[in-house]
Structure 1
Amino acid sequence: MVNRGVRLFPAPASGLVLLCVLLGAVRSYALELNLRDSENATCLYAKWQMNFQIQYETTSKNYKNVTVSDRGIATYKGSTCGDGKNGPRIAVQFDSGFSWTVNFTKAMTTYSIDSISFSYNTSNTAVFPEAKDKGVITVYDTVKIGIPLNNIFRCSSLSTLESNDVVHQYWGILVQAFVQNGTVSTKEFLCEKDKTATTAPIIHTTAPAPTATPTPKGKPEVGAYYVRENGTCLLANMGLQLNITQDKAVSVININPNMTDFTGSCHPQTALLRLNSSNINYLDFVFAVKNENRFYLKEVNVSLILGNGSVLSFTNSNLSYWDAPLGSSYMCNKEQTVAVSGAFQINTFDLRVQPFNVMEGKYSTAQECSLDDDTILIPIIVGAGLSGLIIVIVIAYLIGRRKSHAGYQTL
């Protein structure tokens, strides 16, 4: 086991931010754990999201970066309610050789995190190809952060933890250790980042609609994005325009691809494309496979830095956009709207995406959106032309009959 120091950035205003960092993770599908004791009563509840970015050295003395997450497939072996000697523990295992553990302790009127550790195995050649050093590496730290007993801790805002070669990202945290009487508390204890937010940090919705019409703005520049894991596994070309509604006022942001970084991850059933810039902590597009033969955009998560420095975040994991067969790409050149919530939507332009089965780094045959399908215009045009012709014939006939009747009356 290798023990390494941990550095947190930016520097937290208080220990609560560190707690926020240590309990969650930026990921697209939330992990949820409801631990029960021997009497089947809840003793610990946690829901969070997580993502780990790892840098490693290759045999050619270069450095590579990989992003790993549980992608909704995780086990909780070793998680426990605790006993008289040991406190509660959350233990998570995912993929091959990845594990994440948090230990809790209890004082008179508070509970706290005692330690956190993350382990990864560079012998996994599928994740760490050509790794110079092979074996299990563990980053570990001890902390003491107090939360009032019978309070559930919430930290929806994004926080980041750096442990030497590992960057942890965390958001969407809900946790309560030492649950009393088997009932999770409704009293929330917020992290500092959530306290300073000017609006609700996370907004969930399933059928959103904007409450105001966005102010028109020029068409955004089209960016080319990709994810590479043992070759290119995700391709995306799109112009992106963000529309935010606050107090009935609408702000429009065009994403500049030249000033935007991107990363992501690919898995058999899910794929993630993440964008970030100076004013975007993250903008996640999460794709999923359905019915084993089609893909679609399932989820969008975004965290925006407003002009006053506060953070505004939205998430929706019940979307159904950009549907196409596996082995193909999805294309929509016309402007298209992805409604994430009633206060946030994304307009896309010249869109083409392929999150699965990318061959030789190139797009496969595209399935076009209905907005681009001009074939439907042909019957409409023909029908309109025939209708117009019929109307002209009927009018001419009626005029002719009136003239004929007039002539008979004169005779």
Structure 2
Amino acid sequence: MAAPGGARRQPLLLLLLAGLVYGASAVFFEVKDGNGTTCIMANFSADFLTNYNTQSGSKNSTFKLPPNAEALNSSSCGKENASNPSLIIAFGNGHTLTLNFTRNSTRYSVQMMRFVYNLSDTQIFPNASSQGPKTAESVPDITADINKKYRCVSSNQIHMNNVTVTFIDATIQAYLSNDNFSKEETHCIQDEPSPTMSPTSAHPSSSPPHPSPTSAHPSSSPPHPSPPHPTPPHPSPTPPHPSPSPVPESPSVHKYNVSGTNGTCLLANMGLQLNVTYKKKDDKTVTRVFNINPNNTKVSGSCTTQQVTLELQTII
């Protein structure tokens, strides 16, 4: 980086670009009633971890929700006072993932999540000691306000018997008031910022310093004068060492987000500190440490299918 110039520090313009390439593509699902009105929409990717038995012991199988997964016609918008809406997703050789929804006057949630996996699928469950479908169920923490979409950029693990389902970059909405996701959203707890940790400071000793023995126990008699000694010559003073540059406190943690047409695509909860090395006019190399102040930072970015960009612009 070029020298800021002289002893007077000039403002520096910082530009940060953070790119994220998705490892798995989200899959879109939609449920409509008999009139063609959409009642459930969902867009997410999912990883599955399943423990199953073989003749040589238990094994783990990991697999992803494939892009050709589809919502079955048995999915339903439900009937008032009779049944609740449900999204039933089928993929692979006889595997299904079902989300059953319920609501009250202010919020809706996934009342039950059911995963049926087929141990006869030898590609996913090689050498399984039993065959046929197995069922695992759980009540996940997927809830949102009425007329808002549920949004969870972070990984959300749902634990069931012998199965863990991990939702990634999930957008889900039931009881839609129109045929598209709401612009407003309820974020999952995993996306909430973590508490800001204050910088660690040295703690003084809890006990007062002990006085020196001379002051604690004064002599009862006046001290005897010491015989005179020749004063030795003083050594030449040691040249002072340059003091190290002060290190700033821990940077302030701030929640940054990037949104696109489908809502939030990136959440970052972080503090930023830069170590900048540059040459001054006298050719001396200097290293400075800067904390990024979120209050003086302009945040922008973009969302595409394959990449998310977070751009921070600040004066330091």
Provide the secondary structure at the position in 2 that maps to 1:53: strand
Which residue does the alignment assign to 1:55? 51
1:146 to partner: Cα distance: 5.0
Which residue does the alignment assign to 1:318? 306
How high is the sequence identity, in percent, across the aligned residues?
26
Which residue does the alignment assign to 2:144? 147
Once residues 71 and 109 of structure 1 are traced to their aligned partners in structure 2, the CA distance between those partners, rounded to angstroms, is: 34
Q: Equivalent of 2:63, from 60, 63, 68?
A: 68
1:91 to partner: Cα distance: 0.7
Once residues 258 and 127 of structure 2 are traced to their aligned partners in structure 1, the CA distance between those partners, rounded to angstroms, is: 40
Q: Equivalent of 2:108, from 80, 104, 111?
A: 111
Contact 1:28-1:71 at 8 Å conserved across structures = no
1:6-31 C-alpha deviation (Å, 9 max, x unpaired) = xxxxxxxxxxxxxxxxxxxx971111
Residue identity matched to 1:129: P
Residue identity matched to 1:168: V
Residue identity matched to 2:66: R
1:199-223 C-alpha deviation (Å, 9 max, x unpaired) = 346678xxxxxxxxxxxxxxxxxxx
Q: Which has the higher contact order (CA 8 A, sep 6+)?
A: 2
Which residue does the alignment assign to 1:138? 135
**RMSD value, Cα:** 3.4
Q: How many positions carry a matched residue from both structures?
A: 198
Aligned pairs for 1:200-211 within 5 A: 200=256
Which residue does the alignment assign to 1:35? 31
1:40 to partner: Cα distance: 2.7
Contact 2:95-2:115 at 8 Å conserved across structures = yes
1:195 to partner: Cα distance: 2.2
Provide the secondary structure at the position in 2 that maps to 1:196: coil
Q: Equivalent of 2:192, from 186, 190, 195?
A: 195
Which residue does the alignment assign to 2:86? 89
Sort the Cα spacing of 1:343 and 1:122 in 2 relative to 1 into closer, same or farther, 3 A.
Answer: farther
Q: Does residue 1:156 correspond to 2:153, yes or no?
A: yes
Once residues 85 and 274 of structure 2 are traced to their aligned partners in structure 1, the CA distance between those partners, rounded to angstroms, is: 46
Which residue does the alignment assign to 2:99? 102
Aligned pairs for 1:214-363 within 5 A: 317-318=305-306, 341=309
Residue identity matched to 1:81: C
Sort the Cα spacing of 1:170 and 1:27 in 2 relative to 1 into closer, same or farther, 3 A.
Answer: farther
Q: Equivalent of 1:185, from 168, 182, 186?
A: 182
Which residue does the alignment assign to 1:173? 170
1:166-225 C-alpha deviation (Å, 9 max, x unpaired) = 121112111111111445321211112212164346678xxxxxxxxxxxxxxxxxxxxx
The farther-off stretch of 31-40 and 73-82 is: 31-40
Once residues 66 and 142 of structure 2 are traced to their aligned partners in structure 1, the CA distance between those partners, rounded to angstroms, is: 29
Residue identity matched to 1:75: E
Greater percentage in helix: 1
Instruction: Output the TM-score relative to the length of structure 1.
Output: 0.42
Contact 1:27-1:51 at 8 Å conserved across structures = no
Provide structure 1 residue ranges, at least 5 long, that are not aligned to the other structure: 1-25, 205-243, 252-313, 320-339, 345-411
1:123 to partner: Cα distance: 1.6
Contact 1:74-1:94 at 8 Å conserved across structures = yes
Residue identity matched to 1:199: K
1:243-268 C-alpha deviation (Å, 9 max, x unpaired) = x9x898669xxxxxxxxxxxxxxxxx
Provide structure 2 residue ranges, at least 5 long, that are not aligned to the other structure: 1-21, 195-253, 261-267, 276-301
Which residue does the alignment assign to 1:407? none
The farther-off stretch of 183-192 and 166-175 is: 183-192
Once residues 178 and 309 of structure 2 are traced to their aligned partners in structure 1, the CA distance between those partners, rounded to angstroms, is: 36
Contact 1:156-1:201 at 8 Å conserved across structures = no
Q: Equivalent of 1:120, from 109, 117, 122?
A: 117
Look at both structures and tell me which one has the larger radius of gyration over its CA atoms: 2
Provide the secondary structure at the position in 2 that maps to 1:199: strand
Q: Equivalent of 2:75, from 73, 76, 79?
A: 79
Once residues 250 and 317 of structure 1 are traced to their aligned partners in structure 2, the CA distance between those partners, rounded to angstroms, is: 30
1:133 to partner: Cα distance: 2.0
Which residue does the alignment assign to 2:285? none
1:340-381 C-alpha deviation (Å, 9 max, x unpaired) = 63569xxxxxxxxxxxxxxxxxxxxxxxxxxxxxxxxxxxxx
Residue identity matched to 1:100: L
Instruction: Output the TM-score relative to the length of structure 2.
Output: 0.54
1:95 to partner: Cα distance: 0.7
1:127-165 C-alpha deviation (Å, 9 max, x unpaired) = 211111222111012468653211111111112222232
1:286-340 C-alpha deviation (Å, 9 max, x unpaired) = xxxxxxxxxxxxxxxxxxxxxxxxxxxx996437xxxxxxxxxxxxxxxxxxxx6
